[in-house]
Amino acid sequence: MSSQPELLNRRIVLGLSGGVACYKAADLLRELVRAGARVQVVMTEAATQFITPVTMQALSGEPVVVSQWDAREPNNMAHINLTRAADAILVAPASADFIAQIAQGRADELLALLCLARPLSRCALLLAPAMNREMWAHPATQRNVAQVQRDGAFVLGPAAGDQACGEIGDGRMLEAIELRDELVAFFQPKLLAGRSILITAGPTFEAIDPVRGITNHSSGKMGFALARAAAEAGARVTLVAGPVHLPTPRHVRRIDVTSARQMHDAVLPQAPRHDIFVATAAVADWRPASAGEEKLKKDGSGRPPAFELVENPDILATVARLPPEQRPWCVGFAAESHDLLRHAREKLQRKGIPLIVGNLGPATFGRDDNQLVLVDAHGEVELPVASKLTLARELVRVMAERYEARAA
Count of domains for the chain:
2
Looking at residue 358, what is its pLDDT?
Answer: 86
Of the residues 115, 123, 165, 330, only one is catalytic, namely 165
Looking at residue 112, what is its pLDDT?
Answer: 96
**CATH number of the domain bearing residue 135:** 3.40.50.1950
Q: Let me know whether 160 and 273 are in one domain.
A: no
Q: What is the largest CA-CA distance in the chain?
A: 91
In a domain, 294, yes or no: no
Greater model confidence, 6 or 343: 6
In a domain, 2, yes or no: no
**CATH number of the domain bearing residue 342:** 3.40.50.10300
Q: Let me know whether 153 and 34 are in one domain.
A: yes
Q: What is the pLDDT of residues 115-156, one digit of tens each?
A: 999 999 999 999 999 999 999 999 999 999 999 999 999 999
> Which segment of 7-11, 104-108, 173-177, 208-212 scores lowest on mean pLDDT?
208-212
Looking at residue 362, what is its pLDDT?
Answer: 62
Greater model confidence, 70 or 32: 32
CA 224, CA 231: separation in Å to the nearest integer? 11
Looking at residue 341, what is its pLDDT?
Answer: 79
Q: Let me know whether 253 and 351 are in one domain.
A: yes
What value does the CA radius of gyration of the chain take, rounded to a whole number of Å? Answer: 26
pLDDT exceeds cutoff 80 at 364: no
> Which segment of 2-6, 36-40, 142-146, 402-406 scores lowest on mean pLDDT?
2-6
In a domain, 276, yes or no: yes
Closest C-alpha to 98, from 7, 34, 169, 22? 22
Q: Let me know whether 135 and 200 are in one domain.
A: no
pLDDT exceeds cutoff 80 at 408: no
Cβ density class 120-131: b for 16+ within 10 Å, e for less:
eeebbbbbbbbb
DSSP annotation string for 135-196: HHHSHHHHHHHHHHHHTT-EE---EEEE-TTS-EEEEEPPPHHHHHHHHHHHHS--TTTT-E
Q: Let me know whether 32 and 168 are in one domain.
A: yes
Q: Are 288 and 307 within 8 A, CB to CB?
A: yes
Q: Are 210 and 162 within 8 A, CB to CB?
A: no
Can you tell me the mean pLDDT for 193-218? 92
CA 226, CA 238: separation in Å to the nearest integer? 11
In a domain, 147, yes or no: yes
Closest C-alpha to 35, from 114, 88, 110, 93? 88
Neighbours of 352 (CB within 10 A): 11
Greater model confidence, 376 or 307: 376
Q: Let me know whether 133 and 206 are in one domain.
A: no
pLDDT exceeds cutoff 80 at 222: yes
Looking at residue 2, what is its pLDDT?
Answer: 58
Can you tell me the mean pLDDT for 205-216? 89
Q: Let me know whether 229 and 88 are in one domain.
A: no
Greater model confidence, 109 or 305: 109
- The answer to whether residue 165 is catalytic is yes
Q: Let me know whether 135 and 262 are in one domain.
A: no
In a domain, 75, yes or no: yes
Q: Let me know whether 31 and 82 are in one domain.
A: yes
Residue 1 pLDDT class (50, 70, 90 cuts): low
> Which segment of 44-53, 126-135, 215-224, 360-369 scores lowest on mean pLDDT?
360-369
CA 335, CA 353: separation in Å to the nearest integer? 16
pLDDT exceeds cutoff 70 at 275: yes
pLDDT exceeds cutoff 90 at 308: no
Closest C-alpha to 375, from 395, 389, 400, 403? 395
CA 353, CA 364: separation in Å to the nearest integer? 24
Q: What rounded mean pLDDT belongs to the chain?
A: 91
Q: What is the pLDDT of residues 334-350, one digit of tens each?
A: 876 677 778 788 888 88
Q: Let me know whether 171 and 225 are in one domain.
A: no
CA 334, CA 370: separation in Å to the nearest integer? 13
Domain extent, residue 344, equals: 196-288+308-405
Q: Let me know whether 170 and 205 are in one domain.
A: no
Residue 366 pLDDT class (50, 70, 90 cuts): low
Can you tell me the mean pLDDT for 84-92? 95
Can you tell me the mean pLDDT for 167-171? 89
Q: Let me know whether 203 and 176 are in one domain.
A: no
Looking at residue 50, what is its pLDDT?
Answer: 96
Q: What is the pLDDT of residues 225-259, one digit of tens each?
A: 999 999 999 999 999 999 999 999 999 999 999 99
